[in-house]
A and B are shown apart, each in its own frame.
Chain A
Amino acid sequence: MRHPLFEITRVKFLEFVREPEAIFWVLVFPILLSLALGVAFRTKPPEALAIAVQGGPGAEAARAALAADPALSPRVLTEIGCREALRAGRVALVVVPGARVTYWFDPTRDESRVARLAADAALQGAAGRADPVAASDRLMTEKGSRYIDFLVPGLLGMNLMGTGMWGVGFSIVTARSRGLLKRLIATPMRKRHYLVGQMLGRMAFLVPEVGLLVAFAVLVFDVPLRGSLAALVVVSGLGGLAFTGIGLLVAARPRTIEGVSGLMNFVMLPMWIFSGVFFSPARFPDALQPAIHALPLTALNDALRAVMLDGASIVAVAPQLAVVAGWGLVALAGALWLFRWK
């Protein structure tokens, strides 16, 4: 007879692969999500900014001068048409020609401020202004700095969190609500074998989960994988374990699927928002940064991005890994302490 830990891990894995929905959400959904977002935010050639010239004397000359800048796409509209287009955001800027040119725009829109600078430069140039300093452009198009490159490690982290927590939480609470946990504790099985078996069984499908998403991102979107594969495996594995531990803690008491679902979302929601899955957490106020960086998903995402995009070594991401491992250990200890079988 094999060791109970082996059997518990084995049935945990079997139950997972026999659940088509679980396969979809864990393996297919992250790929579809990265595909959709990767297409939506694909790098496009810079688009000309739409601006308007208010009709009247000199309007056509101004339009011609502005059109000389390929970054601007001017057209002539009536005053009412200008106001409408500006308010609706169809144009970034309205130029009112005259002896004194007026720029009409919303100063809170970045593209409007850019359009104002470009339009002014075009009009001044057309009027004969000479630039005292010669200048030329050098363009940065390096891969690793696109949105998809930022996104994929974030999705990987989010997926490790979601499947780690759901993967153990859902099955434990189901087993509890069906009286199966009570039946198991009526055997000589050890509590720690059950809980650790849940974690190991979940880790078995971490390999395809991480592997598929990373392979997809590298092959389809040419996302860089600059760090070593070993570093990626270690960071993902540690992240998976930590969130499985948090999943055990969340599932320690609830008796119903509804109860555990609410708790799961309560725990995960702040991390979806703050932990830099879809956008950088640097956008939040400085006062929040220490708390944000103490979240396990922030640390995991930082470590994943450092390894994938910057080629960081395990040693370089040790502080983030310490945060992740700390959460995992504290959660596992809490789960062992709080866990109820009935």
Chain B
Amino acid sequence: MSRIALRGSGLVKRYGDVVALDGLDLEVRAGECFGLLGPNGAGKTTTVEILEGLTPPDRGTVEILGRTWTEDPRGLRERIGIQLQETQLAEKLTVLETITLFRSFYRKGLDPAEVMRIVQLEDKESAWVRKLSGGQKQRLSLAAALVGDPEILFLDEPTTGLDPQARRQVWDVIADVKARGGTVLLTTHYMEEAERLCDRIAIVDRGKVIALDTPAALIAGLGAEHVLEIETESDVDLPRLRGLREVHDLRRDGATLSLTVREVHRAIPQLLAELDAQSVALTRLTTHHATLEDVFVSMTGRHLRDN
């Protein structure tokens, strides 16, 4: 087993009566991209800020690169890079000035020009931060996290609020860091992001890790790889539908019925025949590969994104 870069054990954090973290454990291996996936308010940011040494936990321990925050805070700060969820960098500084400022805080690190190349902001070198788009600001924030050439990179919701193209550009930067052997811990509530970037994922809900594995293994844990979603004109006899051989699991979500199935080409004829037998007409049928979203829904009965 590879070296542990980061370990949080039994982390508890309360804010007044609200329990943000309820005994959370996780381990991140050196060189992997580890994702914390969960809905808003699950405790992802609190977890990351405790690991980053910015928030003290009420209980539990944190070990980073074999050290604790009380032993060697400055030494650890030299070795990690952080992107916070809501940092607004100084508006009247240029991209280069901002990166140069952050570079000066680290004893060793990357050349600002090199960092601008990594985050694809070379042509914005002299632009004021105020003039940057949301995606460019986010990549500048990544640059500030990368300029100390960190051994561990912490990214809290790095693409929240970005359009798909800007999101893809941020993913490219993170993939580049990974390719160079960096350890990344990121939080997200976008399952595509977690699936695409992360080697392993912890699904977090209500301050606890409720599942932890590779994305493929988490999806395989559903026992079936496809999801059929149907809507019908009238009520369906659910127990009989659940009794179908190809249907692994069934869940009602408003007007929609979600059926987890192993093989779509066998499941659909069975389903249609059964609905026919019940004299129920279909108004909609869609099918997709099972995703982490489906994993989360099957474990909690709720969706990752609250909409």
Distance (Å) between the CB of B214 and the closest chain A CB? 29
Distance (Å) between the CB of A183 and the closest chain B CB? 4
Provide the B83-122 mask, 1 if CB < 8 A to any CB of A, else 0: 0101111101100010011111111010000000000000
Stretch binding the partner chain, chosen from A14-22, A263-271, A302-310: A14-22
A187 engages B148 (CB within 8 Å): yes
A11 engages B87 (CB within 8 Å): no
**Is B82 part of the contact surface with A, judged by Cβ < 8 Å?**
yes
A18-B92, A175-B90 given as contacts; is B52 within 8 A of A11 (CB)? Answer: no
Distance (Å) between the CB of B221 and the closest chain A CB? 35
Residues of chain A with a CB closer than 8 A to B167's CB: none
CA distance A8 to B107 in the complex (A): 16
Our pick among B74, B87, B89, B92 for the contact of A188 (Cβ within 8 Å) is B74
Among residues of A, the one whose C-beta sits closest to the C-beta of B83 is: A183
A178-B87, A188-B106 given as contacts; is B100 within 8 A of A7 (CB)? Answer: yes
Distance (Å) between the CB of A84 and the closest chain B CB? 61
**Is A140 part of the contact surface with B, judged by Cβ < 8 Å?**
no
A6-B104, A188-B106 given as contacts; is B77 within 8 A of A183 (CB)? Answer: no
A183-B144, A186-B54, A186-B84 given as contacts; is B90 within 8 A of A4 (CB)? Answer: no
Distance (Å) between the CB of B70 and the closest chain A CB? 16
Residues of chain A with a CB closer than 8 A to B151's CB: none
A182 engages B54 (CB within 8 Å): yes
Most chain B C-beta atoms within 10 Å of own C-beta, residue among A3, A8, A18, A186: A186
Question: For chain A, which range describes its interface: under 10, 10 to 19, 20 to 34, or 35 or more residues?
Answer: 20 to 34
A187 engages B106 (CB within 8 Å): yes
Most chain B C-beta atoms within 10 Å of own C-beta, residue among A11, A15, A188: A188
What would 28 A/B residue contacts be, using CB atoms closer than 8 Å? A1-B103, A1-B104, A2-B104, A4-B104, A7-B104, A11-B93, A11-B97, A11-B101, A14-B93, A14-B97, A15-B92, A18-B92, A175-B90, A178-B88, A179-B87, A179-B88, A180-B90, A182-B54, A182-B87, A184-B105, A185-B54, A186-B54, A187-B102, A187-B105, A188-B105, A188-B106, A188-B107, A188-B148
Binding site for A on B (CB under 8 A): 52, 54, 74, 77-78, 82, 84, 86-90, 92-93, 97, 100-107, 109, 144, 148
Q: A14-B97, A183-B87, A186-B54 are in contact. List 14 more A-B contacts (CB 8 A).
A: A1-B103, A1-B109, A11-B97, A18-B92, A19-B92, A175-B90, A178-B88, A179-B87, A179-B88, A183-B84, A186-B77, A188-B74, A188-B106, A188-B148
